[in-house]
Structure 1
Amino acid sequence: MRTVRGWFQDTAGGLPRTFWYLWAGTLINRLGSFVLVFLAIYLTQERGFSASQAGLVIGLWGAGGAVGTTIGGTLTDRWGRRPTLLTAHIGAAGMMVALGLARPLWAVAVGALLLGAFAEAARPAFGAMMVDVVPDKDRLRAFSLNYWAINLGFACAAVLAGFAAQGSYLLLFLVNATTTLVTALIIFAKVGETRGPVTALPVKGMPAPAGALRTILADRVFLGFVALNLLAALVFLQHISMLPIAMGDSGLSPATYGSVIALNGVLIVVGQLFVPRLIKGRSRSHVLALAALVMGAGFGLTAFADTVWLYGLTVLIWTVGEMLNSPSNATLIAELSPAALRGRYQGVFSLSWQLAGAAAPILGGLVREHAGNSALWLGCAGIGVVAAVAHLISGPARERRAVVLRGVGTPVAPVTVTTSPAPEAAEAAATAPADPVRTGS
């Protein structure tokens, strides 16, 4: 019992109350994340759109997401984390209902575009708020816990959505909108603005051109890290584009694909809580390199899979790589983001996922069509090797930059992280991170 209690304390103890409000909002929101999971099926089977029309709608969702992360990152720094989160969630809830009621293709397309923009605009603000309230020493396990909540909610949502769709597809949109509004309500009632005043100080090795965009474009260390994440995302997102097609070619049904891909969520829910202790104190560059190799190996082995158990094995392998990659990525982004531009840095990093979401199915389809199924999956393994080597080479520069940013200074004033009465505010201030003042390059 003492061991279990100690493990729980090491995993979840001592984190700020605001983090747990954000964590709860994440879990509730993901429990209702039905729309994107079933959107392709809804458009083709319920609405009668062609596969190309459905692809166009989903592509517009991704395009809207790219715009949303960019705008959301800017608003996060200029307007504030809290108002950006509230606006994004309320707007997303409204667009979910509108998309569920839309009938003409043009209306569905516009609805998907706007929904993608609102939904993804929340990501930079949420990421910046997490960094604001969680101390450096606790960020690895905090991001791991949040990642665990995302996957637990997503796994449950896939099951719940199947039952809801039997009654009405409109119910999927309404439930998703409701959980999004509940998340907004939690933020409104329990989470205060976390953006603190920052003093711009020169940082050795980082030029300081005028303008946030120029600052980010001049930050080669950060952009190199974003490029490596783009490579990883191009490989990882093949599991929702080319993997179901490959399994179909092996004579396996869509239901079988659903069962196999569910192994991803199950393994993450069971194992992610132990990952922080496993990688704590280890070189992040080495962990990220290992993650790239394992992920590449998992997808590469798909070239030889032709039965359910082999496909399931490949999913379990690349899921281990995903579990190693996610918390290390999150902590590095936190440390490479200057405080004054934290939202915009989060937005640019999120943009790599949006670009991969649009490019992965196109590139995967082209490679598969012209070079064959085996070339696609072995190519994924090759990308994993390239990314691993690049992490080892670029890792020292990233760590030096993180050390420089940590040593710039201290916040001008303590960060207020809750709107609750004085005792609770004092507790939040006591657990807020003593982040240094960070400035853009």
Structure 2
Amino acid sequence: MRAEAPPTGAAEEGELVRGWLRGTVGGLPAVYWYLWAGLLINRVGGFAVLYLSLYLTAERGAGSALAGLVVGTYGIGGVAGTLAGGVLTDRWGRRATLLAAHLACSAVLVALAVSSPLPVIAGLCLLLGLTQAMPGPAFVAAITDTVPAGHRLRAFNLQFWAFNLGTAGASLLAGLLARWSYLGLFLIDAASTLVTALLIAWKVPETLGGAGRSGPATGGMRTVLADRIFLAFVGLTLLQALLSSQTNTIVPLAMHGDGLGPGAYGLVTALGGALIVLGQLFVPKVIDGRRKDRVLALSMVVMAAGFAVLTVADSLPAYLAAAAVWTVGGMLAAPPNAAINSELAPPLLRGRYQAVFYLSFPAASFVAPALGGAGLEAFGAGHWAVVAAVGMVAAALHLAAGPARERRVAEAPRPAPERPAA
């Protein structure tokens, strides 16, 4: 008996789904997916740092102030690790840097699990920040090496999605594991980091070209710091990061001032994470074929609109609406930001360029609370009008800087596609 053919409508829907999948995840090389999987595993398992301060106060007897100082060493290590990771990515290679960083990080997490003296823990926190920040430039440089230019926008969009999906998973697991055992928290984090290292060792070849392995790249960090077009782009990324940092530093204070508790802020952050996880995969279809400077300008306008809502927000629904708007702006910005960074960086300096680019985020996390707290205290709800104005200025500057970036990319020599070394 012959099986009946599916209805035309169902067949069309199936073809639409397959077409969407091809347009979203198709055409990317196998090495990219191993890098993507390693990043996701590492983020899902990277929950120990989320509970460092609670671990210090609950298990090691530190006061709140001392715990804050100890955890602060993690941030210092992160800045150093970002710079070191960028330099080593170009000197040692992408694969070697990823392996060294993950293996060292796994050892540091085991040491943290069994250490008691607070000075030792502070030193290990610094090393943890260093070893967890080092892989960032190497991951992005390897993706840029591996993925053809025409597919990088989708590749970086999927990377951003995996990062947020993994962070959401880590937050859920951390709460469960912390109730069970802080020792288990650190050891499982160490195990997931080791699994990532083994995956990279097994499946990810060195993607840096043969010329890059022969010695240091010409010019080194001096070339990066003399690149005005790139530094202008980093400056604009810093403005975006300053806006994004408001959401986890100043927004909770504003909500508290409006009589909303931690549970309400938890709903706001959960909404942002859910929107990214559910909607980020559709972003490439929306922005594909459009000029990156215009997409970034639009993203800044959307983010500014979200913060403008806070000038009149005094209830949870208003804060949720604002969060939905600024999250969409951030979702639009992530793929073109990474793509522009990969286009502007010379192949032999990709690690260093990534390191300087990534420094805009810790810089924003330091500047945003200081300026934002003072602004909220001085202007009240008017602070959000200032934040929205910064977003509009950033949008205008993206449109002004975009043509020079486009010319730079168009005039750059186009080398033959690189093949990863065996």
TM-score (norm 1): 0.87
- Among candidates 380, 383, 394, match of residue 376 of structure 1: 383
2:246 is aligned to: 238
Question: Residues 43 and 294 from structure 1, CA distance in 2 versus in 1: closer, same or farther, beyond 3 angstroms?
Answer: farther
1:403 is aligned to: 410
2:255 is aligned to: 247
Aligned residue runs from structure 1 range 187-198, under 5 A: 187-198=200-211
Please give the secondary structure, in 1, of the residue aligned with 2:381.
Answer: helix
Distance 1:62 1:118 in 2: 11
1:55 is aligned to: 68
Please give the secondary structure, in 2, of the residue aligned with 1:304.
Answer: coil
Aligned residue runs from structure 1 range 286-301, under 5 A: 286-301=294-309
Distance 1:372 1:311 in 2: 19
Amino acid of the structure 1 residue aligned with 2:352: R
- Among candidates 103, 109, 115, match of residue 122 of structure 2: 109
> Is structure 2 residue 174 aligned with structure 1 residue 170?
no
Distance 2:63 2:314 in 1: 29
Aligned residue runs from structure 1 range 94-243, under 5 A: 94-198=107-211, 211-243=219-251
Distance 2:260 2:360 in 1: 32
Distance 1:146 1:313 in 2: 26
Distance 2:50 2:308 in 1: 25
Question: Residues 277 and 198 from structure 1, CA distance in 2 versus in 1: closer, same or farther, beyond 3 angstroms?
Answer: farther
2:394 is aligned to: 387
Please give the secondary structure, in 2, of the residue aligned with 1:263.
Answer: helix
1:231 Cα deviation from its structure 2 partner: 1.2
Residues 298-354 of structure 1: CA deviation (Å, up to 9, x unaligned): 233234322222221111111101100000101000100001111111111111112
1:336 is aligned to: 344
- Among candidates 4, 28, 45, match of residue 15 of structure 1: 28
Amino acid of the structure 2 residue aligned with 1:402: V
Please give the secondary structure, in 2, of the residue aligned with 1:376.
Answer: helix
Please give the secondary structure, in 2, of the residue aligned with 1:392.
Answer: helix
Q: How many percent identity over aligned positions?
A: 51
1:153 Cα deviation from its structure 2 partner: 1.4
Q: Is the 8 A contact 1:76 1:125 kept in 2?
A: yes
Q: Is the 8 A contact 2:79 2:133 kept in 1?
A: yes
Distance 1:86 1:4 in 2: 37
Q: Is the 8 A contact 1:60 1:109 kept in 2?
A: yes
Aligned residue runs from structure 1 range 28-39, under 5 A: 28-39=41-52
Aligned residue runs from structure 1 range 71-86, under 5 A: 71-86=84-99
1:134 Cα deviation from its structure 2 partner: 0.3
Distance 1:372 1:105 in 2: 40
Q: Is the 8 A contact 1:293 1:385 kept in 2?
A: yes
Distance 2:306 2:191 in 1: 37
1:106 Cα deviation from its structure 2 partner: 2.4
1:47 Cα deviation from its structure 2 partner: 4.5
Please give the secondary structure, in 1, of the residue aligned with 2:416.
Answer: coil
Amino acid of the structure 1 residue aligned with 2:68: G
Q: Is the 8 A contact 2:60 2:118 kept in 1?
A: no
- Among candidates 355, 359, 368, match of residue 363 of structure 2: 355
Q: Is the 8 A contact 1:63 1:354 kept in 2?
A: no
Amino acid of the structure 2 residue aligned with 1:376: H
Distance 2:356 2:187 in 1: 31
Question: Residues 222 and 187 from structure 1, CA distance in 2 versus in 1: closer, same or farther, beyond 3 angstroms?
Answer: same
Distance 1:386 1:272 in 2: 25
Distance 1:287 1:110 in 2: 42
Please give the secondary structure, in 2, of the residue aligned with 1:416.
Answer: coil
> Is structure 2 residue 419 aligned with structure 1 residue 415?
yes
Distance 2:336 2:57 in 1: 38
- Among candidates 91, 104, 115, match of residue 91 of structure 1: 104
1:147 Cα deviation from its structure 2 partner: 1.1
Moved more, 164-173 or 112-121: 164-173
Aligned residue runs from structure 1 range 300-311, under 5 A: 300-311=308-319
Q: Is the 8 A contact 1:62 1:358 kept in 2?
A: no
1:372 Cα deviation from its structure 2 partner: 4.2
Amino acid of the structure 1 residue aligned with 2:256: G
1:25 is aligned to: 38
Distance 1:122 1:78 in 2: 14
Distance 1:302 1:40 in 2: 30
Amino acid of the structure 2 residue aligned with 1:352: S
Distance 1:52 1:191 in 2: 43
Distance 1:228 1:67 in 2: 22
1:429 is aligned to: none
1:46 Cα deviation from its structure 2 partner: 5.0
